[in-house]
Structure 1
Amino acid sequence: MKIGIGADHNAYEAKEELKRYVIDELGHEVKDYGTYSAEAVDYPGIAFNTATGVKNGEVERAILICGTGIGMAISANKIKGVRAAQVHDPYSAERAQMSNNAQVITFGAKIIGVDVMKLLAKEYLSNTLPEEILKERLIKLVQEKRKKLNMLKITLAKFLTTARRK
């Protein structure tokens, strides 16, 4: 699997170590979206570029790291169609994929250490939401939208009938 990785200056060293782990130990290909040094940088640009890479199919999933993980998650979620989840324990790493089909996870370098990041990355990358569940959710969503549309049609018809009487 091709994995995108990005970090701000608060997490540059953690990103470099995690990147090596994902390549050497987990056997994935990695595309590095920056930052490329410990010099101060604003994280939103890195999050946007990485999330856009996911959206455009450059990478299948991504890992973003900043001081808390919060800013990267918020920024990545601004890209339409991308779901980013901040994770901090094995259960949230698993559920990011298995419950939410998140394509991006985020870590806080000032919250958890690199060893924990490695554990969480392994957990997240080893899980895939089964296609059957995705199809079931999509069918349910379409059915709900159709119900709402039918309710709107009924409401509009009633309104138009009342308006014609007046």
Structure 2
Amino acid sequence: MSSAPLTIAIGGDHAGLPLKTILQEALAAAGHEVLDVGTNDTASVDYPDFAHQVCAAVEGGRASFGVLVCGSGIGMQIAANRHAGIRATVLHGTTEARLTRAHNDANVACFGARTTGPEVALDALNAFLATEFEGGRHARRLAKLAPPAA
């Protein structure tokens, strides 16, 4: 995991719970403060509820990054990217993790518990947290993602 301790908001739905638990424990073991917004039960829940809570923590400055887990990661990514200050991406490996941080300044990592194994997810999360945004031409491109002025 990243060398400097961070505050990381984490959330997942019922399908993501097993992987969420593994990621949460690894983050805590690495010395990060983990803000767990749930779910912590296998009862069926709605993934947007948890995505919105994690994104609110990141947007509000209570967390440096967010981690979201559902069955595929896709629903969480869609819900998270509804927030103006969030750049969320589904991760399947370390290359995506490094590039999305370096080039897109992503701040929420999404994982699919049914599509990505724990070891791969842990490696990807480590790469995500350890990679700095490169800025430069990438900052210019990110600025173009802002909503147009009214």
Distance (whole Å) between structure 1 residues aligned to residue 63 and residue 36 of structure 2: 10
Distance (whole Å) between structure 1 residues aligned to residue 97 and residue 119 of structure 2: 14
Q: 1:5 is matched with which residue? A: 10
Give 1:36 shift.
Answer: 1.5
| Residue identity opposite 2:139 in structure 1 | R
Q: 1:101 to 1:113 in 2, by over 3 A?
A: same
Give 1:118 shift.
Answer: 0.7
Give 1:27 shift.
Answer: 2.2
| Residue identity opposite 1:9 in structure 2 | H
| Residue identity opposite 2:124 in structure 1 | L
- Which ranges of structure 2 fall in alignment gaps of 5 or more residues? 1-5, 145-150
| Residue identity opposite 1:6 in structure 2 | G
Distance (whole Å) between structure 2 residues aligned to residue 11 and residue 136 of structure 1: 32
Deviating beyond 6 angstroms after TM superposition, the runs of 4 or more aligned structure 1 residues are none
Give the number of the structure whose alpha-carbon radius of gyration is greater.
1
Which fold has the larger relative contact order, with Cα–Cα distance below 8 Å and residues 6 or more apart in sequence? 2
Q: Secondary structure at the match of 1:10?
A: coil
Which is richer in helix?
A: 1
Check if 1:20 corresponds to 2:25: yes
Q: 2:139 aligns with which of 137, 140, 149?
A: 137
- Which ranges of structure 1 fall in alignment gaps of 5 or more residues? 143-166
Q: 1:50 is matched with which residue? A: 54
CA contact (8 A) 2:91 2:121 kept: no
CA contact (8 A) 2:18 2:113 kept: no
